[in-house]
Structures are given as C-alpha cells and as structure tokens.
C-alpha cells in the first residue's frame, strides 16, 4: 500500500471539512475527558474504601465519668458478643495523638483542642456491618458509662453513595457526549465520502480493494479520535494541577481524600487513547459499511 | 470469454426493463459496437459486465467467472482484468496526466519501479509524451480521453469497455480515438464500445450488437449502424 498516497488523502480530507473536523475532535475530547474523570473518581472511591471501611464500623464513646468497673463490663460484653469480630480500646491520650497526626496540617485546630477533650472509646468491627442496630441496642446511650454509640459505616455509606453518584453522573454525561461524538464522526465521514466520491469511484473502477478506498476515511476518523484523546488527557492534567492539587490540597494532606497521583493519570491515558481511536475507527467503518457505497 | 444468458435488468424506479432477456457471447480479441438509441440499455449492459450492478435475472460470465455468484471482495480482482473509458473521461482533476495513469497501478499495489517504467511507455503509445505533467484542465477533450484510455490500458486488461468514448468529441478527434482503440484491440484486448455515432460504426465495419428497448434486435459480424440508412 502506498503510504504517502493514503496519508495525503487523509490530510486533504481533514482539511477539506475543517469545521466538522474541529467539532468532531472537541466532542470526542469532552466525552473522553469526562470518561477519564469518571475513571479517576472510581479509582479514588476504591482508594477511600480501603482507607476507611476496614477500620471502624461502630464507635462506642465512653462518658467522662465512666468507672473502671463499667469499662471492664463493656469490654467483657464486647468480647462475648457473637456480633463482634474485633474491637480496639482507645484511651483519651491515644485519641488525642491520632487527632494530632490527622490534623497536623492545621496546627491552630490542634492547639485549640485541649488534650482531654477527646473521649475514650471502643472501636468495634462487626461480623456483619449491617447489624449496627443490635450493638446500639446492647449499649444504650447515656447508661452504664456509655456516652454515645455511633455507626461510622452509616456516615461512610452516605459519603460513598454521594461519590458513586458523582461518578455515575460523570460517566452518564460521558456516554451521552460519546453518542454525540459518534454521530458527528459518522456525519463527517459521510460528508468526506461524498466530497471524495469521484476519486473513490475511479479507484473502484480501476480495481482498488474496498479496504484501500475505505482506509483513508477510517484513518481520518482515527486521527481525529487520537487528537481528541490527547486533548482529553491534557484536560485531566490541567484539572489535576489547577483544581485538585490547589483547591483540595487541605483535605488531601489531612488524609481525608486520597490524592490524584500522576500514576493514575498515566494508567488512564492509554485507556482514553485506545477508546478514542478505537471508537472513531469503528464508527467510521460502520458508517462506510451502512451508509456509503464505496 | 464474455457471455450473457437470458439477462434481464429491472431498475427499482422503472417499470420497463433496461435489459430484457439478453443473450449473447463475445470472444477474446473481438471488437464489438454496442449501438442503439439513448435509453436502449447500452450503459446497463456495460455496468453488468463490471459488476457495478447485478442482473435481475439471468447470468453474466466474464473470463469464465460467473458474476452473479461472485462475492463482493472478489470484484476488485475482476476489475483489474478490465479497463473502462467513459464519455466524461473521469480523470482526477487535481492530479497530473502521469499521476492519473499511475493511479490505476498504485491502487493495485504495483511496485514503484514498474510504475515509473510503464507509465511513460503507455503515454507515448497514446501520443501524450511531453504532456505528462499537465493537469486535465490544461488538455483538450481528445487529449483527456487519451489519458483515460492510457489509464484503462496501462495494466493490460483482457477487456476494454468504452461507454460512448467519442460522445463529447468532434469527428476528427473521434477518429484519432478510434485508431487508438483499434490499436489496443490488435494487442489482443477485447474491446466493447457503446456508441450511437454511425459514422464511426459504418467506417469500421466491425461486429454490431443493436439494442432496442433493452432487447437485442440485431447482431451482425461486419455491420453498419442503420440498415437502409
Ligand atoms: N440507475 C438507474 N435507475 C433507474 N433507471 C435507470 C438507471 N440507469 C438506467 N436506467 C434506465 O434504464 C434504461 C436504460 O438505460 P441505459 O442503460 O443508461 O441506456 P443507454 O446507455 O443506452 O442510454 C433507461 O430507460 C434508463 O432510464
Ligand atoms: Mg449510456
């Protein structure tokens, strides 16, 4: 196959309908960028789940005036309970140390918190995290030295359902955009095929294979897909540098949100590239098959 | 080498068939005029030989291959054994004369070396040496048709199909084109030419197949255009 010839056809084709090509590239870029964002959020969610979920599911905070007998009674009850998989005692000092570490980036907050402000607690891991109610019933608030029982999982569930919602919404918009991008690609290819119908007809008459006549169009779409993907990756990089690393710096350093690291973007970039090139090429091929008689 | 058996072609849009139960045979090396008034089915006849379209009924055979059952991906191979020329030349406007001819070899993946050697040879044969670097619009109609013939002949096809190749040319230029087609025919290439130019048909005295309303009404070995003209 004459590479020069095919490439010159591709270049001519892209130049000839510049407006359509630009629209096609931008739509593809937006769609792929959103897809990448969705993937990044998904990665973030699973990182966060690892950080949070395994740890505490139920916290039993003890009252300030808890007696040693009450504390041992609670501990005995926990170690006997079939619902409890594991538990951990955290003293006021340990709670304060952890607090200091967690908020080391916000020294004013640490300074303004007296060391004994944080309650001692039992951190309880349940056999079945859904059975929070049972534990809560066993340790009524404000009785027997228990101040409060809190379902940490409940908070996490709400947090993660929010994050999942954000991820799903992003991906849904990405899919709609992808649909628009595919239609634009199809349209551009039909237009390109129409513009070049003379050349293509002559090619067919002198015995060019279907593959030979279609390849320039498919490459054209694939190239546009690739450019779109590069723009999308560029967008992700900018989002990381200008938004995530700046606006979310505090919570990331505090360990509340995992950072978006370059590794994640480097992993997603080839996925976006392959999706852009692959979808565009397939869209072009299907268009030529269904709508264009070459 | 070319055979049509009870071939009928109906276009979806029209009630009257473009070809109506046509049977004929054309041997290797023959020169055949396909004549008849406009709309009589000449172009349809040629289109079926190129498998640009399929017959509604009947079978078309070219070089021993039945086109009806030929799969789509085999069509390019069939067309590489055939050259074709049209009234409107069908040249690539933005390519030079030699590029237009080379194009026919490029798309079938002929090596660069061969193309470089063969293109000037065939341009000389059609009398266009020295005009290799012109664009089609810098040529006369007759010269453009010579480029088209060079392109059709450059890979030595077994059959040359010509659909009213002189339709846009004056009689003198047409004569030159006919001499060229005759010369190509003498190399052993079968030539089938659709025309309604009776001067040409009468002066050449070759086989004439006359179509009328899609039916063959005459098939004469050394024919003239109109009986009793
Ligand atoms: N693509 C087409 N669709 C519908 N009818 C067609 C088509 N091509 C040709 N015809 C009809 O078929 C008949 C034969 O046409 P054609 O083979 O072009 O004749 P000729 O070349 O002898 O002038 C005409 O009546 C014409 O209108
Ligand atoms: Mg015609």
Q: What is the mean pLDDT of residues A125-148?
A: 82
Chain length of chain A: 294
Query: What atom of ligand 1 comes closest to residue B16's alpha carbon?
Result: 25
Domain assignment of residue B120, given as a range: 91-156
Residues A225 and A200 in one domain: yes
Question: Torsion over CA of A79, A80, A86 and A87, rounded to 10 degrees?
Answer: -40
Distance CA(A283)–CA(A264), nearest Å, equals: 28
Chain A interface test: which of B79, B95, B107 (most A C-beta within 10 Å): B107
| Same domain assignment for residues A167 and A276 | yes
Q: Does B47 touch chain A (CB under 8 A)?
A: no
Mean pLDDT, residues A187-215: 87
B109 within some domain = yes
A128-138 confidence digits (pLDDT tens): 766 777 888 88
Q: Please indicate, yes or no, whether residues A48 and A98 belong to a single structural domain of this protein.
A: no
pLDDT surpassing 80 at residue A294: no
Q: Report DSSP letters for B58-76, one per residue.
A: EEEEETTEESTT--GGGHH
pLDDT for the residue A231? 95
A11-31 average pLDDT score: 82
**What mean pLDDT value characterizes chain A?**
84
pLDDT of A225 reads 93
Average pLDDT value for residue range A201-223: 88
Find out whether the beta carbon of B38 lies less than 6 Å from any atom of ligand 1. Answer: yes
Q: Whose CA is closest to atom 1 on ligand 1?
A: B11
- Asked whether residue B160 carries a pLDDT value surpassing 60, the answer given is yes
Identify whether A134 is part of a domain: no
CB pair distance less than 8 Å for B107 and A208 = yes
Task: Please report the atom of ligand 1 found closest to the CA of residue B163.
Answer: 21
Reduce the DSSP state of residue B16 to 3 states and report it: coil
Residue B65 placed within a domain? no
Number of domains in chain B: 1
Note the ipTM here: 0.85
Span A45-97, pLDDT tens digits: 887 777 666 555 788 898 888 888 888 888 898 888 888 888 889 888 888 88
Q: Would you say residue B101 lies in a domain?
A: yes
* H/E stretch holding A121: strand A121-126
A198-209 mean pLDDT: 87
- Cβ <8 Å between B90 and A205: yes
Residues lying with their CB under 5 A of ligand 2, a single-atom ion? B 43
Within-domain flag for B176: no
Residues in B touching A203 (Cβ below 8 Å): 103, 107
Q: What average pLDDT does range A5-33 have in this prediction?
A: 80
Supply the residue whose CA is at minimum distance from atom 24 of ligand 1. B39
A204 to chain B: closest CA residue: B76
Q: How far apart are CA B227 and CA A223, in angstroms?
A: 62
- Same domain for A23 and A69, yes or no, is no
Residue in chain B lying closest to A215 (CA): B107
Q: Do A204 and B109 touch (CB under 8 A)?
A: no
**How many domains is chain A built from?**
2
d(CA B117, CA A63): 100
| Assigned domain for B123 exists | yes
Chain B residue numbers with beta carbons less than 8 Å from the beta carbon of A196 are none
* B90 Cβ contact partners less than 8 Å away, ≥ 6 residues apart: A198, A201, A202, A205, B148
Same domain, A34 and A63: no
Residue B4 lies in a domain: no
**pLDDT score of A56:** 55
Same domain assignment for residues A83 and A47: no
Question: Alpha-carbon distance B107 to B80, whole Å?
Answer: 10
Q: Tell me what pLDDT residue B228 has.
A: 47
* CA-based torsion, A194, A198, A201, A206: positive or negative: negative
Contacts of A293 in chain B (CB under 8 A): none
- Who among B72, B73, B151 is closest to A206 (CB)? B151
Residues A199 and A284 in one domain: yes
Percent of chain A at pLDDT > 90 equals 15
| pLDDT tens for each residue of B28-40 | 999 999 999 999 9
Specify the residue for token string 């967690």.
Answer: A102
CATH number for the domain spanning A61: value is: 3.30.70.3040
Over residues B6-21, the mean pLDDT reads 92
Residue A174 in contact with residue A31, Cβ under 8 Å?
A: yes
What domain range includes position A99?
A: 57-128
Residue B190 has pLDDT above 60, yes or no: yes
The CA distance from A5 to the nearest CA of chain B, in Å, is 9
Q: Which residue has the tokens 């005692």?
A: A89
């Amino acid at each position: 196959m004459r590479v020069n010839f095919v490439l010159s056809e591709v270049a001519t084709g892209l130049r000839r309908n510049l407006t359509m090509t630009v629209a096609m590239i931008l739509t593809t870029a937006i769609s792929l960028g959103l897809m990448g964002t969705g993937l990044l959020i998904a990665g973030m969610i699973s990182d966060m789940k690892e950080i949070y979920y395994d740890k505490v599911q139920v916290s039993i905070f003890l009252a300030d005036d808890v007696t040693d007998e009450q504390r041992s009674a609670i501990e005995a009850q926990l170690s006997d309970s079939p619902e409890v998989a594991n538990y951990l005692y955290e003293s006021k000092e340990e709670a304060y140390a952890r607090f200091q570490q967690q908020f080391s980036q916000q020294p004013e907050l640490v300074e303004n918190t007296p060391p004994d402000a944080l309650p001692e607690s039992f951190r309880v891991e349940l056999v079945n995290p859904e059975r929070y109610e049972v534990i809560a019933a066993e340790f009524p608030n404000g009785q027997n030295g228990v101040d409060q029982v809190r379902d940490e999982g409940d908070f996490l569930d709400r947090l993660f359902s929010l994050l999942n919602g954000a991820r799903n919404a992003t991906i849904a918009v990405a899919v709609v955009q992808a649909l628009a991008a595919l239609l634009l690609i199809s349209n551009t290819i039909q237009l390109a095929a129409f513009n070049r119908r003379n050349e293509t007809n002559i090619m067919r008459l002198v015995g060019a294979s279907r593959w030979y006549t279609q390849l320039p169009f498919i490459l054209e779409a694939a190239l546009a897909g690739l450019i779109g993907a590069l723009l999308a990756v560029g967008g992700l990089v900018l989002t990381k540098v200008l938004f995530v690393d700046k606006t979310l710096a505090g919570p990331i350093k505090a360990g509340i949100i995992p950072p978006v690291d370059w590794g994640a973007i480097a992993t997603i970039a080839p996925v976006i590239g392959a999706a852009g090139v692959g979808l565009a090429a397939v869209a072009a091929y299907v268009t030529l098959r269904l709508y264009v008689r070459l | 080498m070319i055979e049509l058996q009870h071939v009928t072609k109906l276009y979806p849009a029209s009630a009257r068939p473009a070809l109506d139960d046509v049977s004929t045979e054309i041997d290797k090396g023959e020169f055949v005029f396909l004549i008849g008034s406009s709309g009589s089915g000449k172009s349809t006849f040629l289109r079926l030989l190129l498998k640009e379209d399929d017959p509604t009924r009947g079978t078309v055979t070219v070089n021993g291959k039945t086109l009806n059952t030929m799969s789509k991906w085999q069509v390019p191979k069939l067309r590489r054994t055939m050259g074709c020329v049209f009234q409107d030349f069908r040249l690539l406007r933005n390519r030079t004369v030699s590029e237009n001819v080379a194009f026919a070899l490029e798309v079938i993946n002929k090596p660069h070396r061969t193309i470089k050697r063969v293109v000037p040879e065939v341009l000389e044969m059609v009398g266009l040496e020295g005009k290799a670097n012109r664009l089609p619009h810098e040529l006369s109609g007759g010269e453009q048709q010579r480029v088209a013939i060079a392109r059709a002949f450059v890979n030595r096809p077994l059959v040359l199909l010509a659909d009213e190749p002189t339709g846009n040319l004056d009689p003198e230029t047409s004569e030159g084109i006919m001499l060229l087609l005759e010369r190509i025919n003498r190399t052993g290439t079968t030539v089938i030419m659709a025309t309604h130019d009776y001067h040409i048909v009468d002066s050449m005295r070759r086989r004439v197949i006359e179509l009328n309303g899609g039916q063959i009404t005459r098939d004469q070995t050394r024919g003239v255009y109109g009986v009793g003209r």
